[in-house]
Structure 1
Amino acid sequence: MSKVEIYSKGYCPYCMRAKALLADKGVEYIEYPIDKQPELRDKMIKRANGGSTVPQIFINDKHIGGCDDMFALEQKDKLDALLNG
Structure 2
Amino acid sequence: MLPLDRIVAEIPRAARENIRVSLREKRGSVGVELRIAAANGRGTMAETAKGLRIPLSRIPDVIAALQNAQRVAQGLSLVAVDRE
Point out the structure with max Rg over C-alpha. Answer: 2
TM-score (norm 2): 0.26
TM-score (norm 1): 0.26
Higher helix content, 1 or 2: 1
Higher strand content, 1 or 2: 2
